[in-house]
Amino acid sequence: MPNEDLELLLYQNLRRNRYLVFMDDMWNIEAWNELQNPFPDDRNGSRILITSRLHHVVSQFTEEGDLLNLRPLSENESWELLKRKVFTEEGYPEALVEVGKEIARNCQGLPLSVVAISGLLKTTNMICNMWKAISESLNSLIVNDPQTRCLDILELSVEICQLFLQILSD
């Protein structure tokens, strides 16, 4: 089915209905310009929520809607999120506190990074040396560009997972 037919079908299904559309991590305004046609503006309470880490993209939407600027997590908030994701309510080993805080700090306030690393840390059976190896790998990935930072951390997560699986298979 051609794109124009799909757009018309979507428009007809949404018209006079309330809808919520969520578009996460928009990288350029051109993507929105191509996607906005099938969304009718019936002024019936429908909403389109768009997120982006890029200020130049967000600034192009401010005339049309409300802007909510989220700040990165503090080091303490990152550590609290990491603890909540990795450890049980029973607590955590003191030996992991220092390296855990360092890992949380290296996530530079990005919740996705903290959550991705937390998933990886849970697979280590709380072995301090493994946490230190992960921390050192994170240190080598530190870059100033937050867009590539999350991708690097997710890539590291996959690499360590592959190494872990390789160890298990031996």
Instruction: Report, as an integer, the average pLDDT of 156-162.
Output: 59
Mean pLDDT of the chain: 80
Identify the top-confidence range among 24-33, 103-112, 138-147, 156-165.
Answer: 103-112
Query: What is the pTM for the complete model shown?
Result: 0.58
The reported pLDDT for the residue numbered 144 is 46
Q: Is the pLDDT of residue 170 over 60?
A: no
End-to-end CA distance of the chain: 49
- CB-count exposure of residue 139 (10 Å: 0-12, 13-18, 19+): exposed
Domains and their CATH numbers in the chain: 3-58 (no CATH), 75-169 (1.10.8)
pLDDT, tens only, 2-17: 878 888 898 998 898 9
